[in-house]
Chain A
Amino acid sequence: DAGVTQSPTHLIKTRGQQVTLRCSPKSGHDTVSWYQQALGQGPQFIFQYYEEEERQRGNFPDRFSGHQFPNYSSELNVNALLLGDSALYLCASSQLAGGLTDTQYFGPGTRLTVL
């Protein structure tokens, strides 16, 4: 059973560019959450998608946007990149039907470097 997969593994961009990161959830999961983990810090919640809609959002600017597809996979888009956007971006999937106690399973992350 494949776990959560993310692509690409690493990415280098320059300031002002746009980037798209991709996530495929664990089999049977219908909810995808995105987190940003800066170096030496804990992950910070960006947003969560369920039924192709953004259900909850953290304290991130509108430059961060997302999408969920009918097959439950998801994309994270970041526009007008800043140096401070350099981080490990983690995708987590869960099953809404599992209730509030459902576990979030994390992918290996995409390391984004902004120069």
Chain B
Amino acid sequence: AQSVTQLGSHVSVSEGALVLLRCNYSSSVPPYLFWYVQYPNQGLQLLLKYTSAATLVKGINGFEAEFKKSETSFHLTKPSAHMSDAAEYFCAVSEADTGRRALTFGSGTRLQVQP
């Protein structure tokens, strides 16, 4: 069984400030981890993914995330927020090595960027 917890359903930052969105996971097998972004009335777009290579993963639009096994975390960061980053962000986990590809999502974090 696997699960994802995203701490903070809403996060507000000022334009140019650091963005930190938290994700903790639980998995009985080695996980693959993903961050997706959803803009209003749209589907999900992949930001980045961890698949057991480098623990620091760089994604699109300046985002990156670090896999920390000891903390079971995969927090998403961006050094400087832009107005266009305002959206809903979802962390997801799938099972590595088992062939089960279903994604289990967290409940999401809505990011607001203040001018």
Nearest chain-A residue to B94 (Cβ)?
A100
A86 within 8 A of B: no
CB < 8 Å: which of A35, A100, A107 contacts B101?
Answer: A100
CB interface residues, A 6-65, toward B, < 8 Å: 31, 33, 35, 40-45, 48, 56, 58
B51 within 8 A of A: yes
User: Chain A 80-115 against B: per-residue CB contact (8 Å), 1 yes, 0 no?
Assistant: 000000000010101000001111111111000000
B42 within 8 A of A: yes
Contact in complex: A58, B102 (CB < 8 Å): yes
A78 within 8 A of B: no
A4 within 8 A of B: yes
Q: Which of chain A's residues have a CB closer than 8 A to the CB of B44? A: 43, 90, 92, 106
Contact in complex: A105, B90 (CB < 8 Å): no
- Interface range, B side: 20 to 34
* A4 to B49 Cα, complex, angstroms: 20
User: Chain B 74-109 against A: per-residue CB contact (8 Å), 1 yes, 0 no?
Assistant: 000000000000000010101011011111111110
CB < 8 Å: which of A40, A56, A90, A100 contacts B43?
Answer: A90
Contact in complex: A56, B100 (CB < 8 Å): yes
* A30 to B103 Cα, complex, angstroms: 17
Evaluate whether A103 and B49 lie within 8 angstroms (CB atoms) in the complex, with A43-B44, A45-B102, A48-B102 already known.
Answer: yes
26 A–B pairs (Cβ distance < 8 Å), ordered by A: A4-B43, A31-B101, A35-B103, A40-B107, A40-B108, A41-B108, A42-B92, A42-B105, A42-B106, A42-B107, A42-B108, A43-B44, A43-B90, A45-B104, A56-B100, A92-B103, A100-B32, A100-B51, A100-B97, A101-B32, A101-B49, A101-B51, A102-B101, A104-B101, A104-B103, A106-B45
